[in-house]
Each structure stands twice: as C-alpha cells, then as structure tokens.
C-alpha cells in the first residue's frame, strides 16, 4: 500500500507548464481513499490536498501539502500517517524544498530535497527506520535535469496545462525525482467524461498516467485521473492498479478554489 499517495500524487499539443493560473493559497481538497479488500473496495483513509502561503526572509512561497490518514477503525490493522509537501514559487510552481514523511504499518521513511536550479543539483536527505527501532541517514548531492521536479509540484503543475487544446491520444512526459532517482511520468489525454461526485456532476478531462520502464502501474489505461474541465482543473476521481491490488480516490469536498 506504500504507493497509494504516490500514484495519486500521480500532451503533445498541450502546452508545457508555464505560469500558474489555477492554484492559489487556501485551497483544500478532501478525498476518501479505498482499496480492494477481498474483492470489495473498502474506504481505508482520508486524503487531503491543501495549499497555503509561507513567508521566508527572502521570498513568499506556496506550500503544497498532501496528507493521508487511515480511518480510526483501520489504525489497528494498517495505520497510515503520510505527509508529502513541496514549497514552490507561486507563479511558476518551481519547487525549492520537498519533504516526504511516510509511516505505514510500522514502515517509516523520510525524504527531503533542497533544489539548486541554477546548478541543476539537489541536496537529498534520506532517513529510514531499521528493524531494531533505530534510524539511519543518507546524504547525497544529485544531478538533475533542467525540468526535473518532485511528484507533488508535478501533480499541481499538470493542472495548469492547456488540456482544452489537446486531442484524445495526445501525451506528454514529465521527469520526476522519486527516491533519489529520476523517473519519467507519462500523462495521456483520453477525452472528456462526466463524473458523478460528492460535489456534483462534473464534466472532466480523463487522463491516463504511467511510468516509463516500470511495472509499478499495471495495465494500459488502468491508472486514471479525472480533472474538472474548468479553470480549476481539480482532481475529483482517480483509479489505480498496482501489482498488489487496486483502489480508488473520490473527492468529498473542495473549498478555497482560485476560480
């Protein structure tokens, strides 16, 4: 179940990510995450995506925060307390700092990236919990490509694409840095589809996501995200299929939208 948020937090004629016209501070999206348990999709966790303004001595940044918390009745079975966050330029969503702090069923891992985009370097800190309860750390300096970003800033960035200009089958490749490795995320536009949600019936852009040279996401067009076909392009529904099972994310509420 470790890839749950990564998958979420997962177009040739679509323009590249440029100025941010979609995301503003104060946005809050709440989802229910379900997983296939013995053939039945069962709600196991709440997922929140929140944005806020953060001021430093030099800049004002936009904090993109994603959390996953298992429901209380599942804590004894498989307790989830995950945090993914990226601190980005509010105009371009270029990341400066990324943190990933996951605690799932006793498995603990922390990752931190500090970006130096001028030199195309990332200072990485990895911390893991060993079986005896102690921790070990690993520090690295990584060379990255000019367009490489973390999964959270990429996910929010996709919402700024000019998807309305795309034709079904158009796709674009994004480079994400995950677990100290650059990976290609491929996003393909399938078409428009109306989805019934807790916040009403929404006309959506239907997108298929996959990872290049990886079997983490199983099946062609089996990992899907629906973004509202409006100025906000919020994710309202997602389906994923991985080697150990499948699941869904459904939106429960959306507040503080920019448009």
Tens digit of each residue's pLDDT (9 = 90 or more) over 73-91: 999 988 999 999 999 999 9
Per-residue pLDDT, 111: 97
Q: How far apart are CA 214 and CA 4, in angstroms?
A: 16
Q: Which of 3, 82, 85 is nearest to 45 (CA)?
A: 82
pLDDT at 85: 97
Which of 235, 64, 232, 237 is closest to 151 using CA atoms?
Answer: 64
User: What are the domain boundaries of the chain?
Assistant: 4-255
How many Å apart are CA 75 and CA 152, to the nearest integer?
25
Fold of 4-255: YmcC-like fold (2.40.360)
Residues 6+ apart with CB under 8 A from 189: 11, 14, 163, 166, 167, 168, 169, 170, 171, 205, 206, 207
Length of the chain: 259
Q: What is the dihedral of CA 144, 147, 153, 156, to 10 degrees?
A: -160
Per-residue confidence at 10, pLDDT binned at 50, 70, 90? Answer: very low
What is the C-alpha to C-alpha distance for residues 61 and 163, in angstroms, rounded to an integer?
26
Q: Can you say whether the dihedral through the CA atoms of 189, 192, 197, 200 is positive or negative?
A: positive
HSE-up (13 A, CA, CB side) for residue 35: 19
Q: What is the pLDDT of residue 246?
A: 80
| 216 confidence band (pLDDT: 50, 70, 90) | low
**Residues 198, 244: Cα–Cα separation, whole Å:** 28
Angle at alpha carbon of residue 8, lines to 7 and 13, rounded to 5°: 95
258, exposed or middle or buried, with CB in 10 Å at 0-12, 13-18, 19+?
middle
pLDDT per residue over 239-257, tens digit each?
987 766 688 999 999 999 9
Among the ranges given (95-109, 141-155, 177-191, 236-250), the one the predictor scored with the smallest mean pLDDT = 236-250
Query: How do beta strands 135-143 and 200-211 pair?
Result: unpaired
Section 107-133 average pLDDT: 93
Contact 258, 251 (CB under 8 A): no
- Which value, in Å, is the radius of gyration of the alpha carbons in the chain? 18
Q: In the structure, what pLDDT confidence band is assigned to residue 1 with cuts at 50, 70 and 90? A: very low
The pTM of the full predicted model, rounded to 2 decimals, is 0.89
Count of CB atoms situated within 10 Å of the CB of 202? 20
By the 8 A CB rule, do 8 and 1 touch? no
Helix, strand, or coil (residue 62): strand
More confident residue, 183 or 241: 183
Contact yes or no for 149/176 (Cβ under 8 A): yes
Please say if the pLDDT value at position 8 is more than 50: no
- The answer to whether 172 and 154 have CB atoms below 8 angstroms apart is no
């Amino acid at each position: 179940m470790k890839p749950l948020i990564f998958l979420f937090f997962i177009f040739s004629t679509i323009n590249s990510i440029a100025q941010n016209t979609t995301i503003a501070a104060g946005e809050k999206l709440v989802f229910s995450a379900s997983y296939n348990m013995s053939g039945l999709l069962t709600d196991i966790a709440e997922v929140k995506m929140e944005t806020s303004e953060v001021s430093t001595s030099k800049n004002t940044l936009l904090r993109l925060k994603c959390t996953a918390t298992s429901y209380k009745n599942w804590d004894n079975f498989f307790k989830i307390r995950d945090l993914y966050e990226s601190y980005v330029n509010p105009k371009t969503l270029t990341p400066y700092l990324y943190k990933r702090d996951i605690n799932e069923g006793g498995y603990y891992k922390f990752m931190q990236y500090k970006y130096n985009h001028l030199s195309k370097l990332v200072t990485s800190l990895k911390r893991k919990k060993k079986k005896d309860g102690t921790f070990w750390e690993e520090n690295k300096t990584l060379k990255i490509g000019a367009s490489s970003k973390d999964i959270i800033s990429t996910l929010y960035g996709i919402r700024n694409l000019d998807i309305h200009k795309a034709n079904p089958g158009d796709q674009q490749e994004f480079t994400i840095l995950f677990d100290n490795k650059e990976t290609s995320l491929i996003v393909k536009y399938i078409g428009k589809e109306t989805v019934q949600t807790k916040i009403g019936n929404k006309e959506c852009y239907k997108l298929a996501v996959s990872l290049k040279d990886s079997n983490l996401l199983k099946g062609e067009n089996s990992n899907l995200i629906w973004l509202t076909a409006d100025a906000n392009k919020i994710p309202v529904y997602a389906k994923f299929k991985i080697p150990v099972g499948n699941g869904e994310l459904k939106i429960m509420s959306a507040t503080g939208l920019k448009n």
